DNA sequence: TTGAAAGCGATACCAA
DNA sequence: TTGGTATCGCTTTCAA
C-alpha cells in the first residue's frame, strides 16, 4: 500500500518551500509565483502527492459526503433513486454513504451514527421514527425523500394522492368498474399511505363506498404474486387490482396470467411508477409516471444547498407532479388517448 | 444544528480533568478511577458529547468506512449484494460508501478518489479497468466481487462456468435439445463471460458445435423482452433460450408468453441466480442458485481482515459453489427430482 | 491513575 | 508573494 504516505510537509521540504505554499498550489488558492508553483508541482508529481481527505476534512470541518437512508427494498425504484442522488452528489465532489435500515432494530441509532460522518442526509419516507428524524435534523441538514417528516423537516415527494385518485376515477367512471382491490401496505411507507388515501378519495367523490382494507403486502414482484394468490383464489375476485407500484402489478399480472385469466378482459390491473417493464409486458400496464431520479436529485441538491448556507432557513418542501399513463391493462384500447397529468 | 459542537476539551474543562482522561473514559481504554469516570460520564451525558468522527479517524489514520463499487444495474442481484456487504460492515462499525460507475467516462478516477476516503474497496467485476484496479490495490485493500482482477488482486466469485455447463448439458442430454440460444453480454461482466464459456463447453464436451454468438443484451428484465423480440420474430426461433440471469429470463418469458408461445412446450427458458421470482412465475424457472449475499459478505469480511492486518499477504481468492435448480421451464415435469450441485 | 504535550494531515490567518 | 504557526478534534505516548 505504497504511495499515499506522502504529506504536505514532505512535499514542502522536498520542494524547499513552506507547507502553506504547497497547500496554495495544490488548491489553486492565493497567489503563488510561477517559479514556486513549478517547484511544488514537480514535487507533487514526482512523489505522487494527493492531499489526505481526512486532514482536509478536519480542517474544513466538512466531510464531503452525503448520506442516503432507505429501507433496503430492491427493484428499479431504488436504483433510480440512488442514481438520481449520485448525479448531484458526485459533481459536487461529495461521496455517498448508504444505509439500508431493512428490518434492523437499531436503525434509529445507526442513522444518528451516520449523521456524524456526513454533511447532510436524505431519508426515504417511513424508514425511521419522527423523533429520530428530529434529532437527526439538529445535527445535519436533512430532507425526507418520498414522504413527509415533522413540520420542520423539509421533504421532496410527488402528488401521490391526487394521482392515484385520478387513476382510480378512470377505472370507476370511464370503465364503469366498481369492485376494485388496492394492493400495498399503507403502513409501510408514506407513498403507499397517500396512494391508498387517493384511492379511497376517488370512491367518495362519487358517493361510493371504498373498500375498507387494502391487501397488505410489500413492494416487490413476489409480493404481487402473493397478492394475486389471495385475491384470485376462492370466490370473490375483484374486477380490478390497483397496485401501489408497478412491481406489485407485474407480480399480480404474472399470477393472473398463470391462472389462465385474460387481462384486461377478465381482470384489470394497474401500477404506479412507470418502471421500464410497465410498457413492455403484455398487456402494457396503465400506471402513473413518477420522476424518481428528479426526486432524488432534488433532494441531494436541497441538502447541498443547506450545507453551503449553514445559517439559512430550512428549504421549503417540494412536491413534484406525476403523469397518468393509460395503456392496455385498464381495458382501454391499444391506441388509447395519452392520459392527462396527475392532477 | 445544535449540540454536536462540544469537544473533548470542553468536556475536560467542564469535568475538571484532562482531555486524555476524557478520551480514556469515552473509549473505555486504559485505567481510570471510579471517581474520575463518574465525573467524566456525567459531563458527557449532560452536554451530549459524542466524539467527532473526523478527529478520531485522523488520529487513528483509519476512515471506518468501506467502499462498494458497482456498475449501477438494478434488480434483486444488487440489492442482495449491498445487503450482504452491509451485513458485515455495519457490525464492524464501518460505514458503506457506494459508487455506481454506470456509464460514466471518468469512473476510474472516481474509484481512485473513493479510495482516499475509505479503508478498503470491493469492486464488482467488470466495472473498472485492470490498471485502475492495480493502482487501487496499492492504495487500499481491494477485492473483486463476482469476477477476477489481475493475479495479485484477490476475488470472490462463484463457479459460473461449471454451473452453466451443467445446466446446458441438462438441456442437451436430458432433453435432447440442440438449438439453444445464449442471452447476455459476455463483454459486460466476468460473470456473463464465464457463463457463456460454460455454455459452449457443454457443447464441446459432446462434440457438438456451440452457437458462435450470444444475443448481447444487458441484465435486466426489459433486456430480456428485447432479446425475445430478436429471437422469436422472423423465422428461426431456437428450441431453448439460456439466459445469463433470471431477470433476462423473466423478460424472455414475458415476451414469449405475450406472443402466444407455450413454455416449455414451444420454447424452453432457463435463468441464473434463483431470484425470488424464479420460483413464482408460471412455469417456474429452471436456474442456478447463487449465494449472492454470502458472496458480498465474504468480500466485506476479506477487506475488513486485510484492513486489520496491514502487513499480511493478500488473502486467497475464493470461489463459492452454486446449486442447479430444476423446475418446469426446462421441460422437466412438475415433480422433478431436485437437481444436484453446480459441479 | 492522571496530565502535558506531541502528533495525525491539511488549511488559513497574520506577519514579514 | 512567502513562511511561521495556530487550529481542527481526538488519541496516545511519556512522565509525574
* pLDDT (tens digit per residue) in A260-302: 999 999 999 999 999 999 999 999 999 999 999 999 999 999 9
CA of A334 to C1' of D13 (A): 78
- Residue B202: CA atoms inside 13 Å, Cβ hemisphere, count? 29
Quote the longest CA-to-CA distance of chain B.
Answer: 87
Point out the residue among A83, A97, A310 whose CB comes nearest to the CB of B100.
A83
More confident residue, B54 or B335: B54
Q: Is the pLDDT of residue B170 over 90?
A: yes
Q: Is the pLDDT of residue B41 over 50?
A: yes
Cell (9 digits) for B143: 477485492
DSSP element (H, E) containing B155? strand B155-158
Pairwise CB contact (< 8 Å): A254 & B281:
yes
Residue A341: per-residue pLDDT: 40
Per residue in B319-334, pLDDT (tens digit) is 999 999 999 999 999 7
Q: Is the pLDDT of residue B336 over 50?
A: no
Residue B335: per-residue pLDDT: 58
* Same-fold call for B65-158+292-320 versus B160-290+323-337: yes
Query: Which residues on chain B are in Cβ contact (under 8 Å) with A277?
Result: 221-222, 225, 251, 254
Per residue in A332-342, pLDDT (tens digit) is 997 544 444 43
Residue B71: per-residue pLDDT: 87
Q: How far apart, in whole angstroms, are the C-alpha atoms of residue B155 and residue B144?
A: 4
Angle formed by the axes of helices A160-169 and A190-205, nearest 10°: 40
Confidence of residue A103 (pLDDT cuts 50, 70, 90): low
Q: How far apart, in whole angstroms, are the C-alpha atoms of residue B229 and residue A248?
A: 24
Total residues found in chain B within this entry: 343
Angle formed by the axes of helices B292-308 and B76-89, nearest 10°: 30
Query: Which residues on chain B are in Cβ contact (under 8 Å) with A57?
Result: 54
Mean pLDDT in residue range B135-139: 92
Per residue in B217-261, pLDDT (tens digit) is 999 999 999 999 999 998 789 999 999 999 999 999 999 999 999
Pairwise CB contact (< 8 Å): A251 & B75:
no
Strand D within 7 A of B23 CB: yes
**Nucleotides on chain D within 7 angstroms of protein Cβ:** 1-13
Cell (9 digits) for B184: 447476455
Residue B60, Cβ neighbours under 10 Å: how many?
10
**What does the mean pLDDT of chain B come to?**
92
Q: Is the pLDDT of residue B173 over 80?
A: yes
Among all residues of chain A, which has the CA nearest to that of B263?
A: A258
Confidence of residue A1 (pLDDT cuts 50, 70, 90): very low
* C-alpha torsion sign, points A308, A309, A315, A321: negative
The residue ranges of every structural domain in chain A are 8-60, 65-158+292-320, 160-290+323-337
Alpha helices in chain B (DSSP H): 8-15, 19-27, 34-47, 53-60, 76-89, 107-115, 130-137, 160-169, 190-205, 221-232, 246-258, 292-308
Pairwise CB contact (< 8 Å): B251 & A276:
no
Confidence of residue B314 (pLDDT cuts 50, 70, 90): confident
Cell (9 digits) for B152: 495479485
Pairwise CB contact (< 8 Å): A138 & B2:
yes
Angle formed by the axes of helices A246-258 and A76-89, nearest 10°: 160
Lowest mean pLDDT among A86-100, A171-185, B300-314: B300-314
Strand D within 7 A of B13 CB: no
CA of B16 to C1' of C4 (A): 15
Mean pLDDT in residue range B97-102: 89
Residue A76: per-residue pLDDT: 85
Mean pLDDT in residue range B13-21: 93
Residue B234: per-residue pLDDT: 81
Q: How far apart, in whole angstroms, are the C-alpha atoms of residue A168 and residue A228?
A: 19
CA distances from B82 to A35, A73, A151, A264, B291 (A): 49, 11, 32, 37, 13
Cell (9 digits) for A244: 401501489
Quote the longest CA-to-CA distance of chain A.
Answer: 87
Residue A37: per-residue pLDDT: 92
Residue A64: per-residue pLDDT: 96
Which of A48, A80, A117 is the best substitution to test chain B (most B C-beta atoms within 10 A)? Answer: A117
Are the C-beta atoms of residues B297 and B85 closer than 8 Å to each other?
Answer: yes
What 3-state class would DSSP assign to B32? coil
Pairwise CB contact (< 8 Å): B1 & A97:
no
Residue A79: per-residue pLDDT: 85
Q: Return the CATH number of A160-290+323-337, one of 3.30.70.100, 3.40.50.2300, 2.40.50.500, 3.20.20.70.
A: 3.40.50.2300
Among all residues of chain B, which has the CA nearest to that of A62?
A: B54
Per residue in B55-70, pLDDT (tens digit) is 999 999 999 999 999 9
CATH 3.30.420.10 correct for B8-60: no
**What does the mean pLDDT of chain A come to?**
92
pTM of the model: 0.90
Q: How far apart, in whole angstroms, are the C-alpha atoms of residue B9 and residue A67?
A: 28
Q: Is the pLDDT of residue B342 over 60?
A: no
Strand D within 7 A of B44 CB: no
| C-alpha triplet A86, A88, A94: angle, nearest 5° | 75
Partners of residue A314 on adjacent β-strands = none
Strand C within 7 A of B36 CB: yes
Chain A nearest C-alpha distance from B210 (Å): 30
Q: Is the pLDDT of residue A313 over 80?
A: no
Strand C within 7 A of B8 CB: no
| C-alpha triplet B204, B206, B210: angle, nearest 5° | 40
Q: How far apart, in whole angstroms, are the C-alpha atoms of residue A84 and residue A138?
A: 25
Q: Is the pLDDT of residue B182 over 50?
A: yes
SS3 track for chain A: CCHHHCCHHHHHHHHCCCHHHHHHHHHCCCCCCHHHHHHHHHHHHHHCCCCCHHHHHHHHCCCCEEEEEECCCCCHHHHHHHHHHHHHHCCCCCEEEEEECCCCCCHHHHHHHHHCCCCEEEEECCCCCHHHHHHHHCCCCEEEECCCCCCCCCEEEECHHHHHHHHHHHHHHHCCCCCEEEECCCCCCHHHHHHHHHHHHHHHHCCCCCCCCCECCCCCHHHHHHHHHHHHCCCCCCCEEEECCHHHHHHHHHHHHHCCCCCCCCCEEECCECCHHHHCCCCCCEEEECCHHHHHHHHHHHHHHHHHCCCCCCCCCEEECCEEECCCCCCCCCCCCCCCECC
Q: Is the pLDDT of residue A70 over 50?
A: yes
More confident residue, A5 or B118: B118
Point out the residue among A2, A95, A282 whose CB comes nearest to the CB of B117.
A95
Q: How far apart, in whole angstroms, are the C-alpha atoms of residue B71 and residue B283?
A: 31
Query: Smallest CA–C1' separation from A20: which nucleotide?
Result: D3
Q: Is the pLDDT of residue B150 over 50?
A: yes
Query: Which residues on chain B are in Cβ contact (under 8 Å) with A53?
Result: 63, 116-117
Q: How far apart, in whole angstroms, are the C-alpha atoms of residue B338 and residue B252?
A: 24
According to CATH, the topology of domain A65-158+292-320 is Rossmann fold (3.40.50)
Are the C-beta atoms of residues B46 and B76 closer than 8 Å to each other?
Answer: no
Highest averaged pLDDT of the listed ranges A34-43, A96-105, B104-113: A34-43
Are the C-beta atoms of residues B107 and B128 closer than 8 Å to each other?
Answer: yes
Amino acid at each position: 500500500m505504497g504511495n499515499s504516505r506522502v504529506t504536505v510537509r514532505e512535499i514542502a521540504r522536498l520542494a524547499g518551500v513552506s507547507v502553506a505554499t504547497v497547500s496554495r498550489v495544490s488548491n489553486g488558492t492565493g497567489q503563488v509565483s510561477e517559479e514556486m508553483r513549478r517547484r511544488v508541482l514537480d514535487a507533487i508529481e514526482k512523489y505522487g502527492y494527493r492531499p489526505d481527505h481526512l486532514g482536509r476534512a478536519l480542517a474544513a470541518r466538512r466531510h464531503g459526503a452525503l448520506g442516503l437512508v432507505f429501507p433496503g427494498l430492491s427493484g428499479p425504484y431504488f436504483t433510480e433513486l440512488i442514481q438520481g442522488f449520485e448525479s448531484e452528489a458526485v459533481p459536487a465532489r461529495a461521496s455517498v454513504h448508504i444505509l439500508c435500515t431493512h428490518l434492523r432494530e437499531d436503525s434509529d441509532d445507526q442513522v444518528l451514527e451516520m449523521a456524524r460522518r456526513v454533511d447532510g442526509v436524505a431519508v426515504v419516507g417511513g424508514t425511521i421514527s419522527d423523533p429520530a428524524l428530529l434529532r437527526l435534523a439538529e445535527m445535519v441538514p436533512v430532507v425526507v425523500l418520498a414522504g413527509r417528516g415533522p413540520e420542520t423537516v423539509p421533504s421532496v415527494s410527488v402528488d401521490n394522492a391526487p394521482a392515484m385518485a385520478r387513476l382510480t376515477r378512470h377505472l370507476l367512471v370511464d370503465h364503469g368498474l366498481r369492485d376494485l382491490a388496492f394492493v400495498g401496505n399503507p403502513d409501510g411507507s408514506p407513498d403507499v399511505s397517500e396512494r391508498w388515501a387517493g384511492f379511497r378519495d376517488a370512491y367518495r367523490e362519487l358517493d361510493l363506498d371504498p373498500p375498507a382494507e387494502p391487501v397488505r403486502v410489500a413492494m416487490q414482484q413476489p409480493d404481487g404474486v402473493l397478492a394475486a394468490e389471495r385475491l384470485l383464489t376462492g370466490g370473490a375476485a375483484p374486477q380490478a387490482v390497483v397496485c401501489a407500484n408497478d412491481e406489485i402489478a407485474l407480480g399480480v399480472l404474472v399470477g393472473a396470467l398463470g391462472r389462465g385469466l385474460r387481462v384486461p378482459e377478465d381482470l384489470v390491473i394497474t401500477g404506479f411508477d412507470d418502471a421500464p417493464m410497465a410498457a413492455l409486458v403484455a398487456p402494457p400496464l396503465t400506471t402513473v409516471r413518477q420522476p424518481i431520479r428528479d426526486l432524488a436529485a432534488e433532494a441531494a441538491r436541497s441538502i447541498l444547498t443547506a450545507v453551503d448556507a449553514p445559517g439559512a432557513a430550512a428549504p421549503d418542501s417540494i412536491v413534484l407532479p406525476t403523469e397518468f399513463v393509460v395503456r392496455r391493462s385498464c381495458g382501454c384500447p391499444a391506441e388509447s388517448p395519452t392520459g392527462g397529468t396527475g392532477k
